[in-house]
Amino acid sequence: MMLFQIAVRVLALACLPTLLHAQTPSTGSGQTYPNRAIRMLVPQAPGSASDNVARLIAAELTARLGQQVVVDNRPGGALTIGIDMMIKSAPDGYTLAYAPIGSLVIGPNMFRKPPYDVNKDIAAVALGALNQMLLAGSPRHPFKSVQEVIDFAKQNPGKLSNASSGNGSPGHVGFELLRSMAGLNVVHVPYKGGAAAITDLIAGQVHLMMESLNSITPHAKAGRVRALGVTALKRSPAMPEVPTIAESGVPGYEATTWNGIIAPAGTPRAIIQRLNSEINAALASASLKEKLAMLGADPAPDTPEKFAALIRSENLKWAEVIKRSGAKID
């Protein structure tokens, strides 16, 4: 009996390396994944809302995977240039993208000929964070609530201006949804980036702006802009005193934003699952939750399948809003 037990233990130890190797995805060349640095493309500039979150997740992944995850900013093309670069990369798990809603849902619907098909060209890996926007007013103008803005806009069609960080940005189409639901005639003023738009909002050159909490909350808390309403169905923990637009005269209004990690279509399933597992573990950590909260973002761990379903449903929603608005990028 003793000899039998020893033999069983020896056999178990001999099989252990094989079992461990089976739990680690292979690159297809006999090597385990990852065995070198991973590039994470971000289709926005450094310091943007998506870039801030991407860098937090990249740092966590670096520690968990044992390989450097390098953020590579590739802004431009209504957030499509960076995503297009990723799609054209080898589907081996070494080129990913941290994709905001604008690059997967809004931007492609603005083009007459979209540069890629999100339903065919990408593989959803993991939803990263949920965020919402703030409708802010210039303190140099009298509006102190969403209802006051609606009342004035209806009495003075075409007299109010709404700044955005760019044509096709979440703030642009988010305000288009508000304009449609509330029946408003407001002039859209697109800028080349959120910083310049916020500067003009503070100065009173424009009346309104819808922008991510990540970017505009510090200005609102400092009194440089006036917080009128947040765009989710629930108030933001970052600004609990600010009502939602839905509770401020536009029932049912919702324009949440999100970001997630994607890979080129054809990336092996085992690699997708490994990345999803590590990203979800990072999002569940207390340290990352705290850092995201400081940016006004909520971690949103989820499966690749549910993230893919979110992309499809959001495409349907925002395609209709963009079509009604007539907004296009040639």
Question: pLDDT (tens digit, 9 = 90+) per residue, 134-178?
Answer: 999 999 999 999 999 999 999 999 999 999 988 878 899 999 999
What is the reported pLDDT for 1? 46
CA angle 228, 233, 235 (to 5 degrees): 55
Largest CA distance in the chain: 93
In this structure, are strands 69-73 and 38-42 parallel, antiparallel, or unpaired? Answer: parallel
**Size of the chain, expressed as the number of residues it contains:** 330
Q: What is the pLDDT of residues 253-280, one digit of tens each?
A: 999 899 999 999 999 999 999 999 999 9
pLDDT at 7 over 50: no
pLDDT at 11 over 80: no
In this structure, are strands 95-100 and 256-264 parallel, antiparallel, or unpaired? Answer: antiparallel
pLDDT at 20 over 50: no
What band does 26 get if pLDDT is binned at 50, 70 and 90? low
The sign of the dihedral angle between the CA atoms of 237, 164, 329, 81 is: negative
What is the reported pLDDT for 28? 53
In this structure, are strands 161-164 and 208-212 parallel, antiparallel, or unpaired? Answer: parallel
Distance between CA atoms of residues 52 and 42, nearest Å: 10
Distance between CA atoms of residues 143 and 159, nearest Å: 13
Distance between CA atoms of residues 227 and 242, nearest Å: 7
Domains and CATH numbers, the chain: 35-131+257-325 (3.40.190.150), 132-248 (3.40.190.10)
pLDDT averaged over the chain?
A: 88
Residue type present at position 170: P
What is the reported pLDDT for 162? 97
Higher per-residue confidence, 330 vs 236:
236
What band does 3 get if pLDDT is binned at 50, 70 and 90? very low
Please tell me the pTM assigned to this model. Answer: 0.81
Residue 123, φ and ψ in degrees, nearest 5? -115, 120
What band does 330 get if pLDDT is binned at 50, 70 and 90? low
